[in-house]
C-alpha cells in the first residue's frame, strides 16, 4: 500500500476563514496543515477582518500557516512584521493568485513573467532566517514555461516547500491542469513539492501520487469545500456513509452558524448571506433541491426551513 501523503487545505478568500477552518478540523479532520487566505497591505494598512483571521486566539487548528501577497519587498516586510508579532514562524508567499484586479499590479501569478521582480521580492526571505518560508505559485501568468525561468532562483532560496498549481494565471480555474508542465517543473525543482489543482476525489489524489511519486503532499481547495470528508476518507481508506456525512455536515454547520451569529452585527440578512457561502460548493452532498432553497432564502426563517430539508 502506497504511503499516505500529508493533506494541505488551500486558502480560499471568502470561504476558509478561521471559523470555517476550526469547524472543519473539529468535525471532519484529516487535514495536516491549514492556510489562511492571503493578507495584503492596502494603502499602507491592513483589513481588520484579515488581522482577526490570523489572531492565534481565533484559531484552534493544530497547524496553521498564514499566507501573504505583495508585489514589493517593503510590503512583504510590513506583513511579515504583523505575522511575527502574532507569533508565527512559518509563512507562505502567494505567487499564484490569478485574479486580474491583483495580477495587473504584479501580485500573485502576475509577477511570474518578471524574474527580476521575483528575485527582488523573494530577497526578503534571506533577511529572515528565523522564518520558514514556502511559496504557492502557478506555472506562469501567460506561458507555462515562466516557472522554469524562475526555478534556479527558487532552488537557491531556503524554502520549506513549493506548492504548484499547474495552470497559468490567465486561465484562472478554467480548462484543464497541465500535468506535463507540472512534470517539467518537478524535474527541475530541488525543494519538496506539493501538488494543487482539481483534486476532487480520493482517486484523484492517488492518481497524482502515482504519477508523481516524489511529491511531499497534496493541497486541496475546492475539492474539500465540495466534500469536507475528502481528507479523512483518503487517510482512513474508507468513504463516509450518507448518514455519517449528514451528521457531520449538520455538526459543522452548527459550529459555523453559532460563531457567525455571535460575530455578525449587521442583522439576519447579513448572517444569511454569510452562511450561503458555507453551502456554495456542497450541492453534491445535499442535493439540488435543498441547495437551491438555501440560496433562495432571504431571511432567517426561510434559511432555517431550507436547512430542515437536509
Distance of CA 271 to CAs 76, 83, 259, Å?
33, 29, 10
Q: What CATH number belongs to 7-236?
A: 3.20.20.70
- Tens-place pLDDT, residues 72-97: 999 999 999 999 999 999 999 999 99
**What's the DSSP call for residue 90?**
E
Distance of CA 272 to CAs 53, 264, 296, Å?
20, 10, 10
Predicted pLDDT of residue 221 = 97
How large is the average pLDDT for residues 272-288?
95
1 falls in which pLDDT band (50, 70, 90)? Answer: low
- In three-state secondary structure terms, 66 is coil
pTM for the whole thing? 0.96
| Nearest CA among 189, 162, 195 for reference residue 177 | 195
- Tens-place pLDDT, residues 213-272: 999 999 999 999 999 999 999 999 999 999 999 999 999 999 999 999 999 987 899 999
What the block records as the C-alpha cell of 287 is 442535493
- Tens-place pLDDT, residues 100-144: 999 999 999 999 999 999 999 999 999 999 999 999 999 999 999
43 falls in which pLDDT band (50, 70, 90)? Answer: confident
Domain borders along the chain are 7-236, 242-307
Predicted pLDDT of residue 306 = 94
Amino acid at each position: 500500500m502506497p504511503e499516505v501523503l500529508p493533506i494541505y487545505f488551500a486558502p480560499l478568500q471568502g470561504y476558509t476563514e478561521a471559523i470555517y477552518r476550526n469547524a472543519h478540523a473539529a468535525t471532519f479532520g484529516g487535514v495536516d496543515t491549514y492556510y489562511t487566505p492571503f493578507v495584503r497591505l492596502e494603502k499602507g494598512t491592513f483589513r481588520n477582518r484579515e488581522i482577526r483571521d490570523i489572531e492565534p486566539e481565533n484559531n484552534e487548528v493544530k497547524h496553521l500557516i498564514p499566507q501573504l501577497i505583495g508585489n514589493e519587498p517593503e510590503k512583504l516586510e510590513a506583513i511579515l512584521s504583523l505575522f511575527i508579532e502574532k507569533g508565527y514562524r512559518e509563512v507562505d508567499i502567494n505567487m499564484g493568485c490569478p485574479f486580474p484586479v491583483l495580477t495587473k499590479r504584479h501580485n500573485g501569478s502576475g509577477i511570474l513573467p518578471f524574474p527580476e521582480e521575483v528575485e527582488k521580492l523573494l530577497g526578503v526571505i534571506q533577511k529572515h532566517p528565523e522564518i520558514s518560508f514556502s511559496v504557492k505559485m502557478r506555472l506562469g501568468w501567460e506561458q507555462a514555461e515562466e516557472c522554469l525561468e524562475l526555478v534556479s532562483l527558487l532552488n537557491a532560496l531556503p524554502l520549506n516547500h513549493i506548492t504548484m498549481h499547474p495552470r497559468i494565471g490567465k486561465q484562472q480555474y478554467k480548462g484543464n491542469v497541465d500535468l506535463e508542465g507540472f512534470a517539467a517543473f518537478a524535474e527541475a525543482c530541488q525543494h519538496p513539492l506539493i501538488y494543487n489543482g482539481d483534486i476532487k476525489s480520493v482517486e484523484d489524489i492517488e492518481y497524482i501520487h502515482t504519477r508523481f511519486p516524489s511529491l511531499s503532499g497534496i493541497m486541496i481547495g475546492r475539492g474539500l469545500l465540495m466534500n469536507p470528508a475528502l481528507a479523512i476518507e483518503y487517510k482512513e481508506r474508507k468513504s463516509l456513509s450518507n448518514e455519517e456525512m449528514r451528521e457531520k455536515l449538520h455538526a459543522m454547520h452548527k459550529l459555523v452558524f453559532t460563531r457567525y451569529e455571535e460575530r455578525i452585527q449587521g442583522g439576519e440578512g447579513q448572517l444569511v448571506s454569510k452562511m450561503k457561502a458555507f453551502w456554495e460548493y456542497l450541492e453534491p452532498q445535499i442535493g439540488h433541491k435543498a441547495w437551491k432553497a438555501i440560496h433562495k432564502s432571504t431571511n432567517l426563517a426561510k434559511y432555517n426551513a431550507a436547512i430542515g430539508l437536509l
